[in-house]
Amino acid sequence: MSRIGKRPVALPKGVTAEISGQTVQVKGPKGTRSFTATDDVSIALSDGEISVTPRGDSKRARQQWGMSRTMVANLVTGVSEGFRRELELVGVGYRAQMQGKSVQLSLGYSHPVVFEAPEGVTLSVPKNTEIVVEGTDQQVVGETAAKLREWRRPEPYKGKGIRYKGEYIFRKEGKKK
């Protein structure tokens, strides 16, 4: 039995859901999102809760059961609260600033890096060493934060680079004489 799949997804105030076939459409204050489940699970809406049950005892049905329930829970969280990733720039001269809807990064290259926000994601720069990535789709928010981080990954000797807020960087000892 899936421990995750057993629990129903509660709909908070201001969030409505519609189920048609295998498609779940959720509307909330931050927008509308939908998810189409496989035929291995069945989805039901009752008393303000969405429940997912497997249609058989096969391994694939049990795998899809927990995954589908998590996807539906992420839809509900996305349209009600949204998802957020915070990045820190650590290093001398490493800065970020807003330029319209894109972010201009100074990362020690000979040129500034201009990063365009994908559809459904908003970028903001509260301080010149912090970047906040927000959106309703957890996968797109995480992917955007990872692409920003790729420009300068944190290095283990001085710890310079773009890191997630609160991320621990394993530090190495430098050369000894």
| DSSP assignments along 114-136, one per residue | EEPPPTTEEEE-SSTTEEEEEES
Tokens of 86: 């915070």
pLDDT of residue 143: 95
> Is there a contact between 91 and 160 (Cβ–Cβ < 8 Å)?
yes
Tokens of 165: 């807020």
pLDDT of residue 1: 63
pLDDT of residue 81: 92
Q: Per-residue pLDDT for the chain (177 aa), expressed as one digit of tens each? A: 668 888 999 999 999 999 999 999 999 999 999 999 999 999 999 888 999 999 988 999 988 999 999 999 999 999 999 999 999 999 899 999 999 889 999 999 999 999 999 998 999 999 999 999 999 999 999 999 999 999 999 999 998 999 999 989 999 998 888
Tokens of 138: 């957890």
| Phi-psi sector, 142: left (phi>0), alpha (psi -120 to 50), beta | alpha
Superfamily of structural domain 83-164: Ribosomal protein L6 (3.90.930.12)
Domain edges within the chain: 3-80, 83-164
Helix (H, G, I), strand (E, B) or coil at 68: helix
**What CATH number has the domain spanning 3-80?**
3.90.930.12
DSSP one-letter string for 128-169: TTEEEEEES-HHHHHHHHHHHHHTSPPPTTT--EEEETTPPP
Q: What is the pTM of this model?
A: 0.86
Question: Fold identical between 3-80 and 83-164?
Answer: yes
d(CA 157, CA 7): 45
Helix (H, G, I), strand (E, B) or coil at 79: helix
DSSP letter (8 states) at residue 174: -
Q: Which residues contact 176 (CB under 8 A, 6 or more apart)?
A: none
DSSP letter (8 states) at residue 56: S
pLDDT of residue 174: 86
